[in-house]
Amino acid sequence: MNIYKLQYTDKAQGDADLLAKGTYEVVTEEGVSQDLYINGTQAIVYIGKIVEIPATYDDEGHELTPPVYYDGVFYDLMTKVEYDFGINEIFPTDCVHSFLGYAKNADGTDVDPDESVSVE
Amino acid sequence: MANPSLQIGNDNWAIKEDNLLGYSTAGTRFVPQPITMTRASAGTRVNSSGLVETVELLGSELVDCGNFECASPESVWGTGTGWSIANGLASYDGSGGTQSINQAGVVESSKTYKLTLDVVSNEGSGINTIYLGGVIVSNIHLEVGNYIFFVTTSSTASFAVFGRSGENFVIDNISVKESTKNNLARVDYDGTASSLLVEPLRTNLTPYSEDLSQWTLVNGTLTPNATVSPDGTQNAGKVAFNNTGVDLKKTITVVAGQTYTISFYIKLESGTGLDGRFYDNNNSANIEVYDYTSQIQGTEWSKITRSVTAPIGCTQMQIWLLASSSSLVTASFWGAQFEQGSYATSYIPTDGGTVTRVQETYEKTGISDLINSEEGVLFVEMAALSDDVTERYISLSDGSLNNRVYIQFTTTTNQIKMGVTKGGSTQASRPETVSDVTEFNKLAISYSQDLFKFYVNGSLVFTDSSGDTFTANTLNRLNFDVGTSGFSKFFGKVRKLQVYKTTDIDLAALTS
């Protein structure tokens, strides 16, 4: 399985690139439109903005300083197909999102399920 | 009554990787008809014991004499200087420096395995490295306890665990089994019956679903790992609150205008009038304070759920497992989940980040021999995950929208609909309102030339005496969607699905 971590300026740009690359298509039947995964896509997860510095709040929950976000918006793509996303592909070392059963920082091509440990 | 030519469930479940067992019967013979399924991630279910667990398929035992109780364990285990095997234990006396007990030929390369072992005793603090299949499985000092590791191998190299110089080290019950978690069907138990669970992609946005120490806690004291959780292990945190105005909360990044659903388990020891809360950080205002006392079932574990829509401008929302109460609360919490969507789905564990469970798909193609296109019956006992007024189909088709027999949940509340379409033209169609689509309903379509019937929970609700069916071998696939590849997917629960090649069936009895 291939897992790509992607960064775009905004959601419109990201959606357009993923559509152009053939990861999904928009199908309309009987007036209803749906996004369908195609060409081996297993999941497109729109993560959105990622907080770099959390907001701070007073004792009553009022915001003192707003959160600081990383630039742009983020996606995780799981697919059986290899793509070249160019500058939109990123390689974070401390990921905020993962797929269930895969390591938190799993990305790249031919990714295996998680190597994990639990102690009872 | 005739036997189904294809069926799923009916309390007969079997799974293997990529397949759910469908079956047909021929006389007394049982003929497997594997249904193709995909879900490229792991998933959880409630098992027959009522425990939340990750669905996992384990292969046969690959370690010889892992309990060290066979006749001649020395013949299968390699032992370094200082290791000995006696009385069903493998022991290292620390005399040989860093030495291993090992076994070759255990694993294949590039497969995932579950390795378990018990550490009976261990002195000192030296690292007890474990190798399997060319991978360092563990590189820590192993305290006394039961260990579970999952490892994807890179070679066929031996299993080995090392004792350290000068440290007595005793182990037992070494087991290695091939483990599969992805692409496994989930058979869920609700306390009374089993059903196939089919869910959409969902992401748990709470980064620490079980570790309450990562949540903001005010006016309470947390005891980690105090209570046996719904997964059967003692890993649930208990909180004793010392005030009726409290904080047990987490801030989540959301998208304004989107609907989210929180779910979590609570085991209440004492306290009344428990309130959860959603708070809009951006607008500095409560979105909702809600009393969830009515969802609590005594002192047993209860699953609380509540949906909320992020207001305009809200990108940071505080979700509170407990915000206030009528009297002091002591309770354990576990399995917090906050997901985009109007209803809660099965538990997705997290530990330091958000986690996604990928959607599931089911289909069976190339089965024109199992479907009588000219006349037959499609029967389904199914329940919706939610009355969310979306279209969700189960169908027999030729892979197009033009020729199909279908049953669906519709965009009208608590409505189920049958339909038969031939050559793109509707031959029969009937919506029917049921009391609750989230409860199991038994539905059957009978189709034959100029006669179509729809049975719902034992009653004939529709008859149409005109319309065509299909030429032989037109219908050739079972779909958990509208009839093509993936449009209007079925998400819900299925207890039983049957296809008959005849209409000579007592459908009133079948659907009762």
pTM, to two decimals: 0.89
Pick the residue from chain B with its C-alpha nearest to A99.
Answer: B356
**Contacting residues of B for A108, CB less than 8 Å apart:** none
Q: Which tens digit of pLDDT belongs to each residue from B102-155?
A: 999 999 998 889 999 999 999 889 999 999 999 999 999 999 999 989 888 999
Is A61 close to B279, i.e. CB distance below 8 A? yes
* Number of alpha helices (DSSP H) and beta strands (DSSP E) in chain B: 1, 42
Q: Which tens digit of pLDDT belongs to each residue from B66-93?
A: 999 999 999 999 999 999 999 999 999 9
- Residue B268 near residue B299 (C-beta atoms within 8 A): yes
Q: Which tens digit of pLDDT belongs to each residue from B432-464?
A: 999 999 999 999 999 999 999 999 999 999 999
- The C-alpha atoms of residue B98 and residue B167 are separated, in whole angstroms, by 10
Parallel/antiparallel/unpaired status of strands B285-291 and B275-280: antiparallel
- The C-alpha atoms of residue B141 and residue A94 are separated, in whole angstroms, by 26
- Output the six-digit token pair for B377: 């019956």
- Residue A69 near residue A110 (C-beta atoms within 8 A): no
Q: Report the amino acid identity of residue B77.
A: W
- The predicted pLDDT at position B171 comes to 97
- Output the six-digit token pair for A51: 């907080």
Give B39 to chain A, closest Cα distance, Å.
8
A114 CB within 8 Å of a chain B CB: yes
- The C-alpha atoms of residue B288 and residue B262 are separated, in whole angstroms, by 13
Q: Report the amino acid identity of residue B502.
A: T
**Contacting residues of A for B281, CB less than 8 Å apart:** 55, 57, 61, 63
- Residue B317 near residue B261 (C-beta atoms within 8 A): no
What Cα–Cα distance (Å) separates residue A16 from each residue in A39, A87, B124?
A: 16, 15, 58
- The C-alpha atoms of residue B207 and residue B338 are separated, in whole angstroms, by 10
Q: Dihedral sign, CA of A80, A84, A89, A90?
A: positive
Parallel/antiparallel/unpaired status of strands B89-92 and B130-132: unpaired
Q: How much is the mean pLDDT over chain A?
A: 88
- The predicted pLDDT at position B385 comes to 97
In the beta sheet, which residues pair with residue B307? B261
- Residue B302 near residue B266 (C-beta atoms within 8 A): yes
Nearest to A88 by CA among A2, A15, A38: A15
Nearest to A100 by CA among B16, B185, B204: B204
Q: State the residue for tokens 């291993």.
A: B100
- Output the six-digit token pair for B211: 């570790």
How many CA atoms, within 13 angstroms, populate the side-chain half-sphere of residue B63? 28
Beta strands across the sheet bearing B135-138? B78-79, B99-103, B159-163, B130-132, B135-138
Q: Report the amino acid identity of residue B165.
A: S
**Contacting residues of B for A119, CB less than 8 Å apart:** 145-148
- Output the six-digit token pair for B116: 């378990």
**Contacting residues of A for B356, CB less than 8 Å apart:** 43, 45, 76, 97-100
- The predicted pLDDT at position A114 comes to 59
Give A6 to chain B, closest Cα distance, Å.
16
A96 CB within 8 Å of a chain B CB: yes
Give A87 to chain B, closest Cα distance, Å.
24
- The C-alpha atoms of residue B439 and residue B156 are separated, in whole angstroms, by 49
Share of chain B above pLDDT 90, in %: 88
pLDDT-flagged residues of chain A (< 70): 61, 113-120
Interface of A with B in 10-49 (CB under 8 A): 27, 29, 32, 34, 36-37, 42-43, 45, 47-49
- The C-alpha atoms of residue B342 and residue B261 are separated, in whole angstroms, by 6
**Contacting residues of A for B42, CB less than 8 Å apart:** 100-101, 113
**Contacting residues of A for B181, CB less than 8 Å apart:** 101, 113
Report the phi/psi class of residue B191: left, alpha or beta, with left for phi > 0 and alpha for psi in -120 to 50. left
- The C-alpha atoms of residue B189 and residue B230 are separated, in whole angstroms, by 14
- Residue B131 near residue B106 (C-beta atoms within 8 A): no
- The C-alpha atoms of residue A4 and residue A79 are separated, in whole angstroms, by 8
Question: Distance from first CA to last CA of chain B, Å, rounded?
Answer: 15
- The C-alpha atoms of residue B398 and residue B190 are separated, in whole angstroms, by 34
A50 CB within 8 Å of a chain B CB: yes
Q: Report the amino acid identity of residue B32.
A: P
Tens of each residue's pLDDT in chain B, 512 residues: 788 999 999 888 888 888 888 988 777 788 899 999 999 999 999 999 999 999 988 999 999 999 999 999 999 999 999 999 999 999 999 999 999 999 999 999 988 899 999 999 998 899 999 999 999 999 999 999 999 898 889 999 999 999 999 999 999 999 999 998 889 999 999 888 899 999 999 999 999 999 999 999 999 999 999 999 999 999 999 999 999 988 999 999 999 999 999 999 999 999 999 999 999 998 889 999 999 999 999 999 999 999 999 999 999 999 999 999 999 999 999 999 999 999 999 999 999 999 999 999 999 999 999 999 999 999 999 999 999 999 999 999 999 999 999 999 999 999 999 999 999 999 999 999 999 999 999 999 999 999 999 999 999 999 999 999 999 999 999 999 999 878 999 999 999 999 999 999 999 999 99
- Residue B382 near residue B406 (C-beta atoms within 8 A): no
- The C-alpha atoms of residue A111 and residue A99 are separated, in whole angstroms, by 11
Length of chain A as a residue count: 120
Beta strands across the sheet bearing B285-291? B216-218, B245-253, B316-324, B275-280, B285-291
- The predicted pLDDT at position B396 comes to 98
- The C-alpha atoms of residue B379 and residue B348 are separated, in whole angstroms, by 32
Helix (H/G/I), strand (E/B), else coil: B73? helix
List of residues 6+ apart from B327 with CB closer than 8 A: B244, B270, B271, B272, B273
Pick the residue from chain A with its C-alpha nearest to B231.
Answer: A120
Q: What DSSP element (H or E) covers A108?
A: none
- Output the six-digit token pair for B319: 């979700």
- Residue B305 near residue B260 (C-beta atoms within 8 A): no
Residue B270 is classified by DSSP as: E
- The C-alpha atoms of residue A77 and residue A75 are separated, in whole angstroms, by 6
**How far is C-alpha B509 from the chain's CA centre?**
32
DSSP class per residue in B210-237: S-GGGSEEESEEEEEEEEE-TTSSEEEE
Is B359 close to A43, i.e. CB distance below 8 A? yes
Q: Report the amino acid identity of residue B56.
A: E
- The C-alpha atoms of residue B99 and residue B54 are separated, in whole angstroms, by 35
Is B54 close to A101, i.e. CB distance below 8 A? yes
What Cα–Cα distance (Å) separates residue B274 from each residue in B237, B285, B304, B336, B339?
A: 18, 20, 11, 16, 22
**How far is C-alpha B231 from the chain's CA centre?**
12
